[in-house]
Structure 1
């Protein structure tokens, strides 16, 4: 298996949202974007699918060395090799890649967040950083991409948190801020033990409205001249908005299951968004 095939399997298996979103990107940039999505998935698996924090930190330390090796021109991992082959200027993008890795490292340091400003620091380190990297890969004006891509990445993360509430809680991570849980009279134990209630519904309605508003605001701020270059991010946003609608229609039943869109609907949404 060559490194491009590895990235495709890791980042965008058929039927996934990333699969359809990446296919809307300019053809020449699809290998690079796929490698970036694969790298994000590698980082995510390192911290979220490792039960022992010591092992997680060891794996993160390896990735830190691998990112340095990528910048030095001697990567060893298939994803790093793909980035070396497709990324025009590795040195320029390396600080952002390191920042993305540092953002995921926060998952090993804390599993709950006191309030939204604390959560925002995590979301911006992961979601906003990643969206900015993706945007720069195809933007007409890469130097300005973070201004409009960062808010979109933040909004996408808010939507992901809602969809993953149940699964994250079962793995000991609760991204809904503690003060907001208290405001709606929902406890961490309620999430972990999958206890639905009117209070939980009200909490999730609040979370969904915030994420939906953030997505719509970020999309509206996307410069007209960049709309065509950012078909991948726009497709992801369309998927996120549709998924929020689906979660709402299902009564926010996200604690015992992960609600998802069908592949054919993802295909249609990605096509329409582009």
Structure 2
């Protein structure tokens, strides 16, 4: 497959599968947009390989296979999948550390094999692997000048993934998964079996409120990261931070009820936020 066709495939995957992300991606310059779509397509496929297998051992085998396919692509053999020419080109052109991709695949292995996380450190490690490394890849595509951008991108990824965890508590519980630290459940008097059963209690809402507060602390990193990346890419990051931050605000507005229905933003609201942030960010540059 040609490089152009590979990038087109990545763009198609992103348009079809991205929700919050694609609204922000569309404001990027063409070169960065294509690179980000390549990264998203890789992450999406890695996640699909773990989700598509009901058996954890089969999912782990798929993850190992995807890692081997990626490593071959980095060595020049991109025949393993249609997206790989674009991924390899983006990695080399933007000088993205290969270990970020290995960490991402390790995150899919955690999804395939771990149903509980005892401590915040364990949950943080999971969030780092499935979200922070994507943020770290992203700033390499955007371009950044100072090294302090790296820890800020890591923290921004933690904020995004913790928001996802809060939004998806019910869906994950239906699959027997609890991503919030068990130490936090115990501290707030929430029983695992009640969470898995979707039982809404004052203690559960206090737990969600606590985690929302924790996520908001990490969102500050997104604001601090903004001036450190290339000016023409700032609107995309600003839009992402705003969209995910608005999800947290919506959880709070619902009095921390994440069980009765899934928290989400309409397409129109995402577009309004993205448009507003694009205008504001450009005025500041």
TM-score normalised to structure 2 length: 0.87
Aligned to 1:206: 210
Distance 1:143 1:177 in 2: 30
CA shift at 1:25, angstroms?
A: 1.8
Do structure 1's residue 68 and structure 2's residue 71 form an aligned pair?
Answer: yes
Distance 1:90 1:71 in 2: 13
- Is the Cα contact below 8 Å between 1:163 and 1:254 reproduced in 2? yes
Aligned to 1:41: 44
Distance 1:30 1:83 in 2: 13
Aligned to 2:161: 157
Residue 221 of structure 1 aligns to a residue whose secondary structure is: helix
1:182 to 186, 195, 206: 186
Gaps of 5+ in 2: 279-285
CA shift at 1:180, angstroms?
A: 0.7
2:200 to 190, 196, 200: 196
- Is the Cα contact below 8 Å between 1:135 and 1:230 reproduced in 2? no
CA shift at 1:154, angstroms?
A: 1.2
RMSD: 2.3
- Is the Cα contact below 8 Å between 1:136 and 1:145 reproduced in 2? no
CA shift at 1:234, angstroms?
A: 2.5
Aligned to 2:34: 31
CA shift at 1:210, angstroms?
A: 1.2
Do structure 1's residue 167 and structure 2's residue 149 form an aligned pair?
Answer: no
Gaps of 5+ in 1: none
Any residues of structure 2 matched to 1:1-274 within 5 Å, and which? 2-13=5-16, 16-75=19-78, 76-89=80-93, 92-141=96-145, 145-215=149-219, 217-222=220-225, 224-226=227-229, 228=231, 229-274=233-278
- Is the Cα contact below 8 Å between 2:159 and 2:215 reproduced in 1? yes
Residue 78 of structure 1 aligns to a residue whose secondary structure is: coil
Distance 1:63 1:15 in 2: 21
- In structure 2, the CA distance between the partners of 1:204 and 1:183, relative to structure 1 (3 Å rule), is same
- Is the Cα contact below 8 Å between 1:3 and 1:78 reproduced in 2? yes
TM-score normalised to structure 1 length: 0.90
Residue 181 of structure 1 aligns to a residue whose secondary structure is: helix
